[in-house]
Amino acid sequence: MTGIVRHNGHFEWDGVHRLAYKEEGTHFKQVTRQVLSKAFPGLFAELRYFEVAPGGHSTLERHEHAHLVLIGRGGGHCLVGGEVSAVTPLDAVIIPPQTWHQFRATGTEPLGFFCVVARERDRPQLPSSEDLEALSADPAIKDFIRV
């Protein structure tokens, strides 16, 4: 047991498969998921790497569990709560409980990011039409979100 999950270049790791972002749904576009900690299922948390292809986006969602995110490659924008921000490598993004969030690869590069979550966590909630209306009260958010 070395504990090492070896990066083998191009944001891939030995023994880690590139998976679909989620098993089902149409609320996201061109996102892959790799679970770097998958050989250690009993830990308090999971370390994942997500990559959004140019033009793609993660799901607009919120949930009780928090995310600790570290941008790994490329760039793009994210919504966290009431703000849309540009992100570049080594920026950290903290997503507190019950905070609407979405990542988009808005440029010509992919947006790759590491994301730690608690192993035991609630299911994400999608926005209702009322939620979308409230979010869209801010023109910058209205313009940004993809559902």
**Cα gap 43→143, rounded to integer Å:** 39
Interaction between residue 101 and a copy of itself (CB under 8 A): yes
- For a copy of itself, which is the closer residue by CB, 25 or 122? 122
Interaction between residue 124 and a copy of itself (CB under 8 A): no
* Residues catalogued as catalytic: 115
Interaction between residue 122 and a copy of itself (CB under 8 A): no
Which burial class, exposed, middle or buried, applies to 9 when counting CB atoms under 10 A from its CB (0-12, 13-18, 19+)? exposed
- For a copy of itself, which is the closer residue by CB, 36 or 132? 36
- What's CA 71's distance to the chain center, in Å? 10
From candidates 27, 29, 33, 36, binder to a copy of itself by CB under 8 A: 36
Helix (H, G, I), strand (E, B) or coil at 129: helix
Per-residue binder mask for a copy of itself (CB under 8 A), 45-84, x = binder: x-x-----------------xx-x-x-x-----x-xxxx-
Nearest to residue 111, comparing CAs of 69, 71, 64, 63? 71
